[in-house]
Structure 1
Amino acid sequence: MWWVVGALVVVLLGGGGIALAVSRKSSPAAKPVASAAPTTAVTSAAPTTPPPSPGADITGPLDLLLLGVDTRVTIPDWEPHSDAIMLLHVDAGLKSGYLYSLPRDLRVKMPAFAKAGFGGGTYKLTEAMSRGSRVPGSKKTNVQQGYELLTKTLTAYTGIKTFQAGAILNFGGLDKLVDQLGGVDLTVDQKVTSHHRKPDGSLRPLVGGEYQGPAAVYLPGQRHLVGWQAIDYARQRYGLPDGDYDRQRHQRQLVRSILTKALAQGLVSDSAKLEGVITALGNTLVYVGGRTPLEYAYALRDLAPSKITLVGLPGNGVGGGSGYLGEALTAEGKGFLTAVAKGQIPAYLAKHPKLVNK
């Protein structure tokens, strides 16, 4: 299941930093300045050069990690799973980028991780978050610790040495975000029938392992989706020709639609709107990064959604003696990751144009 994070990285991830900075630093009233004794001569202050904006030194390229995490907060001791794993590569100059996904069931080797008492092994990528989040001797989990194991796993698999920042949005974040934006508009590219929701948005009852009753349906064409519809549309994979790969494409399309809506509303420059969005998200958002969100907001100010290329990486199911084990990227899909790590994306996509989502 997927809970969108990607929309926060370019606009709201940075914008959150702006909103928090404004709300925390601008509230105290300015102290009055004592009047100086009158003088007969007025001197002009020497002109000064304003300091560069925070983040002005960030030039890229950047690799940012966007995670949708299912925390199942209603289930005691449920370990978080990264059900959406999207990566955003931003070119040097920070005016264009590439958004791509990795299958949640991708079979990968995970390194040993002492913090969680994990000895390493080969598992589904979604399990990196859960295995890394374990706190030895406790039933509590640590999402940021899970993020650390996930990034170590991704570095080993992709060859990308560093992820400069990451955004994690949990179970209830997307519907709040989309509703704060007044809904989003996107092109539904194939008929999608919901397993989880009725046409009015209420949950379909689960009886004997099967969902029952009328289902919400999303037909091809230009559609306006409110929060619950955006969640529902983006989480569906059953009944689609390419299953989870179709779902990954829909997730990327939705991320770009959210970014487009956020930019159209001027969130980058409107601290009041930003603060409303961040307040609505509450603790559903976790930010991880070496630089502050404010710095990335400034650095990525010229990255328009239209300059973000959506890339789909093909893969296939793999099995063993016990049946289905997970997914593996094709040579073409794995080759794209190599191109990212080596800074050769345009040349690679020129040779493999079908990877680009039109």
Structure 2
Amino acid sequence: MVPRWARVCTVFGAVLMLLSGGVLIAYEALLARYEGSVATADLFGDQAAGAQERKSDIKGPLNILLVGIDPRDAETRPLADSILIMHVPPGLDRAYLFSLPRDLRVEIPAFEKAGYPGGTDRLNAAMSHGSNVPGGNPDAARGFELLSKTISANTGIKRFDAGAIINFSGFQKIVDAMGGVTMYIERDVKSEHRQPNGKHRESNPYGEGYIGPQAVYKKGNRHLKGWQALDYVRQRYPSNGVPDGDYGRQRHQQQFVKAMAAQALSKDVAANPIKLDSVLRAAGKSLIFNGRGHSVADFGFALRGLGSDSIQMIKLDGEGIGTGRNYQGERLTPLSEEFLASVKAGTIDEFVLANPELINTNQ
């Protein structure tokens, strides 16, 4: 029987694609195989700054930045499709997970490495600006560095203790390796991109959008295959059943993260060495990780008390700046700004207790 701290490690590796949770494995060989497959990079610019890697035990509170990208090809600079932050209080036995709107209007600092002079843009563009390599292919790790600096400058969260870039192209392989995932669909949602058989819908030859039959995700508890899970968490248009647009998509991503964490910790995955090995290898091929001196396994052991039931989903609300063709992006509501201030001040427990409307109840 795989011990609980080992099962928690499964979450951090598999779920580090849209969240995190932990990834330690019971057997030395399996752990070595997993860690050997995970790409690492200088996501925070520590090596260039001459910083020494920290080797001390991991202590809370922790802030972990998780960014999902959907690279089209090696020549195209990536945008940050999903931006999630997991805050873990000092006890390391529970966590708050929240998303930042990718259209959030922010000041992006100058970034000499990429030749970017700085300016005002949407948050997801920081990844693109930072990944620029004059005369070469884009560098996602460099883009992550500018994105993290931008988030710190605009939220007050001075430091991230770990970070990961999750490649969505490997996302569905992880879900399929787990045997799919069961989650609650809060309302009927039609797919903008996929047919019922999973094939991509055809582009509309007479205008924008797509034509042909659409996959439909019915309200209720549903078991999703990899392509279905990825497709569902991407939907964001009211015409497809997501009335609150990108904020609804953020909520669905968080709901999926929690469902995936529960699946990764289940006996069906964690106690099945063959399936566990498949999941970990798929996860290793899908992410780039940086623990600022600590490995994925180090974090998995530190977060061994963290389970899916101890992850609290937080919804940050915002509002559009401009409308129609004058739409410029999003800004957070005052309450959401105050929540971020509580993360910085270390008073998040008290703030959420006093403002329960921030809790995503559709979990």
C-alpha change, 1:248 and 1:25, in structure 2 (3 Å) is closer
Residue 193 in structure 1 maps to residue 204 in structure 2: no
Deviations 1:44-100 (A, max 9, x none): xxxxxxxxxx98822211000111102112xx6211111100110011110011000
Q: Secondary structure at the match of 1:137?
A: coil
User: How many residues were matched structurally?
Assistant: 324
Q: Choose the corresponding residue for 1:306, options 299, 309, 325.
A: 309
- In 1, Cα distance between the equivalents of 2:343 and 2:109? 22
Deviation at 1:345, TM superposition (A): 1.0
C-alpha change, 1:5 and 1:123, in structure 2 (3 Å) is farther
Question: Partner amino acid for 1:72?
Answer: R
Deviations 1:12-31 (A, max 9, x none): 4x5699776433899xxxxx
Deviation at 1:281, TM superposition (A): 4.0
For residue 147 of structure 1, what is the aligned residue in structure 2?
Answer: 144
TM-score under structure 1 normalisation? 0.84
For residue 350 of structure 1, what is the aligned residue in structure 2?
Answer: 353
Write the mapping of 1:1-358 to structure 2, written as runs, cut at 5 A: 5-7=16-18, 9-12=20-23, 21-23=31-33, 57-73=57-73, 77-138=75-136, 140-207=137-204, 208-239=207-238, 240-265=242-267, 273-281=275-283, 283-290=285-292, 291-319=294-322, 323-358=326-361
CA contact (8 A) 1:60 1:91 kept: yes
Question: Partner amino acid for 1:336?
Answer: F
- In 2, Cα distance between the equivalents of 1:93 and 1:56? 17
Deviations 1:199-256 (A, max 9, x none): 1111111113221111111121111111010001000001221100011000000001
CA contact (8 A) 2:22 2:299 kept: no
Deviation at 1:270, TM superposition (A): 6.8
For residue 47 of structure 2, what is the aligned residue in structure 1?
Answer: none
TM-score under structure 2 normalisation? 0.83
For residue 46 of structure 1, what is the aligned residue in structure 2?
Answer: none
Question: Partner amino acid for 1:193?
Answer: K
CA contact (8 A) 2:25 2:31 kept: no
Question: Partner amino acid for 1:130?
Answer: S
Q: Secondary structure at the match of 1:81?
A: coil
C-alpha change, 1:268 and 1:343, in structure 2 (3 Å) is farther
For residue 45 of structure 2, what is the aligned residue in structure 1?
Answer: none
CA contact (8 A) 1:102 1:313 kept: yes
C-alpha change, 1:320 and 1:258, in structure 2 (3 Å) is closer
Larger Rg: 1
C-alpha change, 1:199 and 1:211, in structure 2 (3 Å) is same
Between 1:114-123 and 1:318-327, the stretch displaced more is 318-327
- In 2, Cα distance between the equivalents of 1:77 and 1:22? 32
- In 2, Cα distance between the equivalents of 1:321 and 1:25? 47
Question: Partner amino acid for 1:170?
Answer: N
CA contact (8 A) 2:34 2:280 kept: no
Deviations 1:283-335 (A, max 9, x none): 43111221111110100111011011000000011028961110100001111
C-alpha change, 1:200 and 1:16, in structure 2 (3 Å) is farther
Structure 2 alignment gaps of length 5 or more = 1-14, 37-53
Deviations 1:90-146 (A, max 9, x none): 1111001100001111111111111101111111011111110111232x0111111
Question: Partner amino acid for 1:218?
Answer: Y
CA contact (8 A) 1:67 1:167 kept: yes
- In 2, Cα distance between the equivalents of 1:149 and 1:323? 27
Question: Partner amino acid for 1:223?
Answer: R
C-alpha change, 1:16 and 1:171, in structure 2 (3 Å) is farther
- In 2, Cα distance between the equivalents of 1:213 and 1:171? 24
- In 1, Cα distance between the equivalents of 2:343 and 2:82? 19
Q: Secondary structure at the match of 2:342?
A: helix
- In 2, Cα distance between the equivalents of 1:55 and 1:209? 53
- Percent identical across equivalent pairs? 45
